Amino acid sequence: MSALKFRVLLDSETKEEVFRDILIHDEANFETFYNTILEAFNFKGGQMASFYSSNEDWDKGQEIGLMDMSFGDETDADAPLVMSNTSLKQLIESPEQKFILVHDFLNMWIFLIELQSIEKTPVDEPQVILAIGDAPDENSKQGNEDIQFSTEQMSADDYLDGFDEFDDFDEEYSSSDFDNIDDLDI
């Protein structure tokens, strides 16, 4: 039994670094870690979120979701991991282990998380042991403005507009060229 010290950096558009160092028991689950991170940055939550194991290049690896999003037909090996059922120590593969946390998939709050050290003395409750920078308001970030939602109805012609390019094919094709598929020279 030990404690894990993580540095959690908020990836933001400001030039100011905003991060928290969190000390947490290695047997704590990812949901406890997630709630500790939200509390440390004064976020309320109530949004979908996922952790991803990562590497030194910050590539997304295995997903650990807030909720079970499986369809029930996966084998145990293929089933997605769920925060409440996955302990931190299960996924610590190296002393420099990295995770990415995506909170609120519409606004895309991204936290870069790196294991700083493994402490021999466990802690009962997660602790924020260092806080640098002022966390932005959770509602200050807007979602992708390029995404447009339309409430107007589309006609069948609107859906078929992309198929006009096949008209050229129709001019070259005549149904009298063959009676059935067996007449084709393949």
Encode pLDDT of 67-114 as tens digits. Answer: 887 766 665 666 789 999 999 999 999 999 999 999 998 889 999 999
Residue 145 lies in a domain: no
Question: pTM of the full predicted structure?
Answer: 0.72
User: In this structure, is residue 79 part of a structural domain?
Assistant: yes
Tokens at 26, concatenated: 């290695």
CA atoms within 13 A on the CB side of 74: 10
Residue 26 maps to a domain: yes
Pairs from 155-162 (Cβ < 8 Å, separation ≥ 24): none
Buried b (16+ CB within 10 A) or exposed e, 66-100: beeeeeeeeeeeeeebbbeebebeebeeeeebbbb
The domain in which residue 34 lies consists of: 3-139
CA 100/CA 107 separation, integer angstroms: 15
- Asked if residue 152 belongs to a domain, the reply is no
In a domain, 144, yes or no: no
How confident is the model over 26-58, as pLDDT tens digits?
999 999 999 999 999 999 988 999 999 999 999
Residues 6+ apart with CB under 8 A from 16: 133, 134
Domain membership of residue 169 (yes or no) is: no
Residue 132 in any domain: the answer is yes
Residue 26: give its domain's CATH number.
3.10.290.30
Residue at 17 is within a domain: yes
The total number of structural domains in the chain stands at: 1
